[in-house]
Amino acid sequence: MKYIFSLINTSPKTLLDVGCGTGIATRQLAQRMSDVSGCDVDSKMIETAQGYKDSIKYYVCPTEKMSFESQMFDAITSFGAFHLFCDEKSISEIKRVLKSGGFFIIVNKNEAGNFRKDYEQIVEKLTGTKPPQSVKVGYNPASILEQNCFSKITEKRFSHIEEFTIPRAMEQIQSMSLWNLIPENKKQEALEIFRNHFEKSAKDGVIHRKLEIAVVSGKK
Which tens digit of pLDDT belongs to each residue from 102-151? Answer: 999 999 999 999 999 999 999 999 999 998 877 777 889 999 999 999 99
For residue 158, give Cα distances in angstroms to 23, 108, 129, 200, 207.
22, 10, 33, 28, 20
Q: 79 is in which domain, residue-wise?
A: 2-219
Contact 217, 7 (CB under 8 A): yes
- The whole-number pLDDT of residue 9 equals 75
- The residue with greater pLDDT, 215 or 133, is 215
pTM, entire model: 0.88
As a whole number, mean pLDDT of residues 14-40 equals: 95
- The whole-number pLDDT of residue 154 equals 96
As a whole number, mean pLDDT of residues 88-113 equals: 96
> At a CB cut-off of 8 Å and minimum separation 6, what does 98 contact?
71, 73, 75, 76, 104, 220
What is the amino acid identity at position 102? G
Contact 136, 108 (CB under 8 A): yes
Q: Give the chain's domain count.
A: 1
Strands of 14-18's sheet, edge to edge? 57-60, 35-40, 14-18, 73-79, 98-111, 206-219, 151-165
CATH classification of the domain holding 84: 3.40.50.150
- The whole-number pLDDT of residue 13 equals 84
Question: Percent of the chain scored above 90 by pLDDT?
Answer: 88
pLDDT digit string, tens, across residues 32-73: 888 999 999 999 999 999 999 899 999 999 999 999 999 999
* pLDDT-derived band at 12, boundaries 50, 70, 90: low
- The whole-number pLDDT of residue 29 equals 95
What is the C-alpha to C-alpha distance for residues 60 and 21, in angstroms, rounded to an integer? 10
Contact 154, 216 (CB under 8 A): yes
pLDDT for 28 beyond 90: yes
- The whole-number pLDDT of residue 210 equals 97
